[in-house]
Amino acid sequence: MKTLFCVLITPVVVLLTSTYALAAIQTKVIEYKQGNTVLEGYLAYDDAIQGKRPGVLVVHEWNGLQDYVKKRTQQLAELGYVAFAADIYGKGIRPKNPKESATQASIYRKDRQLMRARANAGLEVLQKNELTDAKRIAAIGYCFGGGTVLELARSGANIAGVVSFHGNLDTPNPNDAKNIKAKILVLHGANDPLVPQEQVKAFEKEMRQANVDWQLIPYPGAVHAFTNPEVGNDPSKGVAYNAQADKQSWEAMKQFFAKIFKK
């Protein structure tokens, strides 16, 4: 009887192992354009999921589309979304130090229409992907990317929601908030010296006056870039990783997605 049991169960174990081995996060570099500029984004999805699923656009920090945002894109795929990290700067433009990052970021912060155009170009790639449920799309961004996805919302993009992680909240055209169709979630370091209270208050006023469905969650003790372990852990520098705020903000994003993607 014992021998028979082993014979019967072995094929089942093999089958389960094979099925698990076939399920994996797939990633792909995708070249696309905004106008005449060639961009190079990063797609991630779980090939074990059948059919269309909600899509999440991801926008990088000021140092461009590098390892950190790719990791976040993969994490979103692990949650069951098809995730696409947009390239705002252009193919091959990957700053190597803070000076280069500041130079690139300033181009788009000074030209919000160009920033919006680059974000919308990435959104279009995600919308057209065969795995994406185009009626259920959100956008998230980190630091520079957080400000970028807010500008995407202000452009009137037809998406369900936007999440800004320690992003800039200012805009030269606050009246554009009337164009916002998405629900807005801002995850903010309460002690962030790069996004001071004056900027927070101006953003809150902007959202209220435009009757936007929005929420801002401040994390006590957190400063700028609080989700990125690579920035170190010294808050006195103005940028520092905060493990608790990182975990809490990711959970807040997941709860937000559960609400906006609910059929």
Q: What value does the mean pLDDT take over residues 59-71?
A: 97
State residue 90's pLDDT score.
97
State residue 263's pLDDT score.
75
**pLDDT tens for each residue of 101-112:** 999 999 999 999
Q: Where are the alpha helices (DSSP H) in the chain?
A: 2-22, 67-78, 98-110, 112-128, 144-154, 197-209, 243-260
**pLDDT tens for each residue of 135-145:** 999 999 999 99
Name all domains of the chain by residue range, CATH numbers in brackets: 25-260 (3.40.50.1820)
Q: Which two tokens stand for residue 154?
A: 């202000």
Instruction: Examine the pLDDT at 50 and tell me if it is beyond 70.
Output: yes
155: left (phi over 0), alpha (psi -120 to 50) or beta: alpha
State residue 117's pLDDT score.
98
Predicted structure pTM score: 0.90
Burial class of 247 by CB neighbour count within 10 A (0 to 12, 13 to 18, 19+): exposed
Query: How large is the greatest C-alpha to C-alpha distance in the chain, in angstroms?
Result: 77
Q: What value does the mean pLDDT take over residues 212-219?
A: 98
